Amino acid sequence: AQKITQTQPGMFVQEKEAVTLDCTYDTSDQSYGLFWYKQPSSGEMIFLIYQGSYDEQNATEGRYSLNFQKARKSANLVISASQLGDSAMYFCAMREGNSGYSTLTFGKGTMLLVSP
Amino acid sequence: EPEVTQTPSHQVTQMGQEVILRCVPISNHLYFYWYRQILGQKVEFLVSFYNNEISEKSEIFDDQFSVERPDGSNFTLKIRSTKLEDSAMYFCASTWMVETQYFGPGTRLLVL
């Protein structure tokens, strides 16, 4: 079974609109973390936002927020007020356990295209 | 702001040759990783490194791969005898806490 599932291969949004990128995860660990990374066409992986399994509030970082629904095992990324520069591949990832050297398991990604 | 750096940005090599990919993690970080991404696919974990030894490795990380932290700043990935299927983007990452992993810009390896 996939540990991280991103069901949207591609998403289109108009500039200044909000967009939600879906992510569901599968783990039996009680302690885990969820991450979102942005990968523009240049290839680098840019860390966006993190949510710990014990965090009671949804994480926010500027225009990014993470809609964490623990019972549903979902960790959707919400980008408010989309900009042209948001066009990129977006990956959801999970760290299982609470160790610093726990590895990340990535989903297949969602390509976001922002149009003027 | 400190960042992970990687060299070279691109590497082209012949099948069977050895390559060494270099990374300089963020200076106060304790945990180091290599991941790879075959073109158009998801990022896959290769190996993690802590306290000068491998802490975890994936099934991809077979005997042709090795990692080293030779001088307290560099972190290298060596592929002894490259194969066509080793062509990928290789990312180094580092962290000192569980809340994030910072990735370098990647080395794009092409094996001919």
Residue A1: predicted pLDDT: 66
A60-75 pLDDT, tens per residue? 999 999 999 999 999 9
Instruction: Answer whether B42 sits within 8 Å of A109, measured CB to CB.
Output: yes
Which SS3 state, helix, strand or coil, does residue B69 take?
coil
Neighboring chain B residues of A37 at a CB cutoff of 8 Å: 103
pLDDT one-digit tens code per residue, B23-50:
999 988 989 999 999 998 999 999 999 9
Summarize pLDDT for B59-83 with one digit per residue, the tens: 999 999 999 998 878 999 999 999 9
Torsion over CA: B90, B58, B48, B70 (sign): negative
CB contacts of A109 in chain B (<8 Å) are 42
CB-CB under 8 Å, A102 with B97: no
pLDDT of residue A18: 97
- Spatial separation of the C-alpha atoms in residues B97 and A98, rounded to whole Å: 10
Q: Which of A72, A62, A94 is nearest to B43 (CA)?
A: A94
Is residue A100 scored above 70 in pLDDT?
A: no
Sequence letter at residue B65: F
In A, what residues contact B, Cβ < 8 A? 33, 35, 37, 43-47, 50, 52, 91, 93, 95, 98-109
Q: Which of A45, A95, A105 sits opposite B98 (nearest CB)?
A: A95
CB contact under 8 A, B103 and A37: yes
Q: How far, in Å, CA of B50 to CA of B52, rounded? A: 5
Phi, psi of B86 (to 5 degrees): -80, -10
User: Taking a C-beta distance cutoff of 8 angstroms, is the pair B48, A101 a contact?
Assistant: yes
Contact A47 B45 (CB under 8 A): no
Q: Please indicate whether, in this complex, the C-beta atoms of B33 and A103 are within 8 angstroms of each other.
A: yes
Q: Is A106 in contact with B44 (Cβ distance < 8 A)? A: yes
The stretch A29-46 carries a mean pLDDT of 93
